[in-house]
Structure 1
Amino acid sequence: MRAVCLTLPTNRECAATIAAVGAEAAYAARRFGVRVHLLVLDSADPATYRRHAEAVAALPAVGSGAASGTDSGTDSGTAFGAASGTASGAGEVVVHHLDEAAQRGFLRDVIERSGAAGPDGPVGDQLLDLMLPDAVSYGACTNRAFLLAGALGCASVHRRDSDSAYQLLDGETVFPIEHELATLGLKAADAAAAVTEVTLDPVHADKPVALVGGSFVGELSVDIGEIRELDPDAYHQVVALWAPTGASEQERRELVADSFTGGGTDPFRHDRAVLDLPDIWRIDMCNVALDHEVYDRVPLPPATATIGSDYFLLHLVRDATLPGVVHNRHIVNYYTPERRTGAGFTAYQLRYAKFLLSMLYLYPVYSEMEAAGGALLDEANHIRADVIADSARRSAATDRAENHRRLDALDHCYRRLGGKYAEFADHLAPQRARLLDEAQADIEDFALLIDAWGPLMRASKATPADRLPR
């Protein structure tokens, strides 16, 4: 039976989302006859974790899958699922609800068995910190899902987020996994029958579909909409700061107009799925699936407190000329209240500032990948990880002048906005040197993790059954 990993990383209360993603897992098992490993990677506080465990336990059972995953020996995993509906096979769902202690134990074991932290490589604690840092890391949480998916024998990873929900059509939930499982991993020529439109150059027809994704409807994906309401010109300046060095004013205007808007606001009415080299501007990481042939070879940047650090593989798939499917089963994006006041506001705005700084080092890598194109693939259409690592290492030497300018401009815009934004500017000012250093260290850490990733993934896939998190 084909096994896939539907993962929900979270550090906040999301019992309702667990129930909703559980329903998507059950749908996938019924519809496609697959074993769905529903992987909840839980970094929430103990009280919230317990509420999540109750939500997991309340999921109805699907198939004969056994439970796994828990916190410190407390078994909160459960098989769940069967509900009414047309099935094309007898699938099953297995839930894994892992707190950070369980995740850390798994990672330590994989790192030790991998040999990646040998005499000529990073120490084990360094790798563990990159995989499970103390701070929020969008890339690291997804990297953990990749390794666990490997250990569970999954062919793909399908990611959802805790602050999102599903659309409805005539009372029925619109699940993105419909398009993901219909096409992901298939040769593009074979996947063509399952989409509504094919614009892929036939030269790529024998390559596998490496990426399937949609976007979101609702609020902006980055919580800066209030800035647009307060001062549209300041919003333009703040968003334009993530344009590449040397971008024209027209290019900046186009970037601002297209940024963080997803699929707009129109609700789902009918399916549209396009097979091509993927338009990654129409894909969001709350609504994405990747074939294992991609993440087996290259991880995501493990940068902490940095919005957008989890989008790297989308660029890589497109630039490497691997086919993808972009669909319109958009997820509903909403904001959690803590982002808008007090410490939550400060933390979120800092993540946006670090996102801007990360672009100094990511753009050179993106440019080199785009120039290389199909040369990023070997004869078997596998991504050449060493090329990506070398590019990231070279990028670390980029002159910091542009990042100094970005911080100056951000400071000016936030002080112009006044109120809590001016207070954030005061908070940001004394941290400038540290943030500049961190941005460079983040790309260096990424290169280091790529070097270690192959051995880590091989060790994960070789995890004995009695060492899987339970």
Structure 2
Amino acid sequence: MRRVCLTLPTNRACTPTIAAVAEEAAHGARESGAEVHLLVLDSSAPADLAAHRAAVAALPPAPGVVVHHLDEAEQRAFLRAAVTASGAGEPDRLLELLLPDGVSYGACTNRAFLVAEALGCSSVHRRDSDSRYQLLDGTPVFPIHHELAALGRPASEVAGAVTRARLDPSLADRPVALVGASFIGEPSVDVDGIRALDPEAYQEIVGLSLPAGTPEIWRRHLVDEAFRGGGTEPFTADRTTLSLVAPNRVDMCNVALGREVYARVPLPPATDTIGTDYFLLHLVRHARLPGVLHNRHIVNYYTRERRSDEGFLAYQIRFAKYLLAAGRLDEVYAGLAAAGDDLLDPAGLVRPGTVAGLARASAAADPADGAARLDVLDRRYRSLGGRYAAAADVFAGRRDRLLAEAGADMADFALLTDAWGSLTAHAKGTAVNHLPRPRTAPAVTP
């Protein structure tokens, strides 16, 4: 029986989301006949963790669904066993990169990849703690419907089942490696305030996320589309496209990847940095692996914390670190694009050594580009005043540290990529009897 992992990483209270994602897991198992492992990776504070344990315990058993809820101690025990078994060098550093003290969007997803390997899953389907589903005639619209229908199948088989097929015929025999959509509703509260205060400042700041050589005729349009998700049009009917999926059309709260990708290359484990967890979306596109883009967008939702002064500053630091990382990642993406089909070995699998080499070269790049980016942020944030000027003071006080971290983060990514193949191989053989007892019901008969 096909086994898949639907994962929900969280570090905050999200009991309604646990129930909603469990409903999606049950829908996926019922509709496809797959065994769906619902994996909650919990880094929450003790009170929220206890509430989550109660929410998981209250979930009704569903045919074909297995539930795992791991706190950080349980995650660390599993990771330490996998790292030790792998025999990889610098085991303590690897463990730190997989479960860091700070917030890391890449690291939490990397942990899901490794646990999915231990559980024998063929794909990982990722949601966020603030995920909400759209409704059609009162019924939730679940992304897993398209993910399970297409992922892992040859593109030639999927072509007749989608709304549009825009894939080079030469790629028809390659399996679908990615299925995703975005979010619908309110744009990012963390950067949209900049647009409201000064549209030109917004153009220059967000423009730092684009490759330096982006033609001016495209730049304004791409900036206008950034951080906007799938717009505001509610779901009324399915629209699916088979293509080489553009990363800016997918949000990491609404994506599924095949193990032929994530078992080969991890996500960058940078802490307090948004955006770096989108790396595999770029890798899939540059390796010319087919994907399906759909319109079952997640409903966007922002917690009150994101609107507070403390939450605002935390996100602005993550945003600044992302803009620093973007310059270095652009070099990596350019190398991936130049490699093209050479990114794949004769078996059609991604070559991790190519990725690690590009990351290592980027880590050694001149920090002058990063310094220029911080100069733009300093000038523009001060012109905006208020909380933005206060953020500029923080950037200035951490300038040397921010520049050093941008290079170190890429070096860490190279280190983890070098060890990843051994980690995933030994995760498969790592005993999981220390994990919480699975909650399951009888399997679905396909």
Q: TM-score range, shorter-chain basis?
A: over 0.9
Equivalent in the alignment of 1:466: 433
Equivalent in the alignment of 1:124: 91
SS in structure 2 at match of 1:25: helix
Equivalent in the alignment of 2:385: 418
- Establish whether residue 376 from structure 1 lines up as the match of residue 348 from structure 2: no
More displaced 10-residue stretch of structure 1: 32-41 or 188-197: 188-197
Q: Of the candidates 325, 330, 338, which is equivalent to residue 358 of structure 1?
A: 325
Equivalent in the alignment of 2:66: 94
Shift of 1:222: 6.6
Equivalent in the alignment of 1:220: 187
Counterpart AA for 1:254: H
More displaced 10-residue stretch of structure 1: 221-230 or 418-427: 221-230
1:159 and 1:286 in contact (8 A); partners too: yes
CA distance in 2, matches of 1:246, 1:279: 18
1:306-455 mapped onto 2 (5 Å cutoff)? 306-455=273-422
SS in structure 2 at match of 1:289: strand
Equivalent in the alignment of 1:37: 37
Equivalent in the alignment of 1:257: 224
Counterpart AA for 1:309: T
Shift of 1:464: 2.9
Equivalent in the alignment of 2:144: 177
SS in structure 2 at match of 1:36: strand
Equivalent in the alignment of 1:106: 78
Shift of 1:223: 2.2
Equivalent in the alignment of 1:54: 54
- Establish whether residue 142 from structure 1 lines up as the match of residue 109 from structure 2: yes
More displaced 10-residue stretch of structure 1: 267-276 or 184-193: 184-193
Shift of 1:279: 2.3
1:221-236 mapped onto 2 (5 Å cutoff)? 221=188, 223-236=190-203
CA distance in 2, matches of 1:221, 1:454: 35
1:160 and 1:287 in contact (8 A); partners too: yes
CA distance in 1, matches of 2:188, 2:163: 27
Cα distance per residue 1:386-417 (max 9 Å; x no partner) = 11111111111222212111111111111111
Counterpart AA for 2:297: H
Aligned residues: 437
Counterpart AA for 1:142: T
Shift of 1:451: 0.4
2:78 and 2:432 in contact (8 A); partners too: no
Shift in CA distance, 465/434, structure 1 to aligned 2, threshold 3 Å: closer
CA distance in 2, matches of 1:203, 1:459: 35
Shift in CA distance, 401/250, structure 1 to aligned 2, threshold 3 Å: farther
Equivalent in the alignment of 2:172: 205
Shift of 1:426: 1.3
2:189 and 2:307 in contact (8 A); partners too: no
CA distance in 2, matches of 1:414, 1:363: 24
SS in structure 2 at match of 1:420: helix
1:103 and 1:469 in contact (8 A); partners too: no
- Establish whether residue 18 from structure 1 lines up as the match of residue 14 from structure 2: no
CA distance in 2, matches of 1:439, 1:465: 35
Asked which structure has the greater RCO (Cα within 8 Å, sep 6+), the reply is 2
2:74 and 2:434 in contact (8 A); partners too: no
Shift in CA distance, 190/246, structure 1 to aligned 2, threshold 3 Å: closer
CA distance in 2, matches of 1:289, 1:380: 22
More displaced 10-residue stretch of structure 1: 11-20 or 143-152: 11-20
SS in structure 2 at match of 1:466: coil
CA distance in 1, matches of 2:190, 2:389: 17
Q: Any gaps of 5 or more consecutive residues in structure 1?
A: 64-91, 118-122
Counterpart AA for 1:29: A
Spell out structure 1 runs of 4+ moving beyond 6 A.
Answer: none
Counterpart AA for 1:161: D
Shift of 1:194: 2.7
Shift of 1:434: 0.2
CA distance in 1, matches of 2:373, 2:217: 19
- Establish whether residue 161 from structure 1 lines up as the match of residue 134 from structure 2: no
More displaced 10-residue stretch of structure 1: 391-400 or 443-452: 391-400
Q: Any gaps of 5 or more consecutive residues in structure 2?
A: 438-446
Shift of 1:248: 4.3
Counterpart AA for 2:3: A
SS in structure 2 at match of 1:245: coil
SS in structure 2 at match of 1:157: strand
SS in structure 2 at match of 1:41: strand
2:22 and 2:38 in contact (8 A); partners too: yes
Equivalent in the alignment of 2:444: none
Shift of 1:246: 4.2
Counterpart AA for 1:3: R
Shift in CA distance, 285/336, structure 1 to aligned 2, threshold 3 Å: same
Counterpart AA for 1:115: G
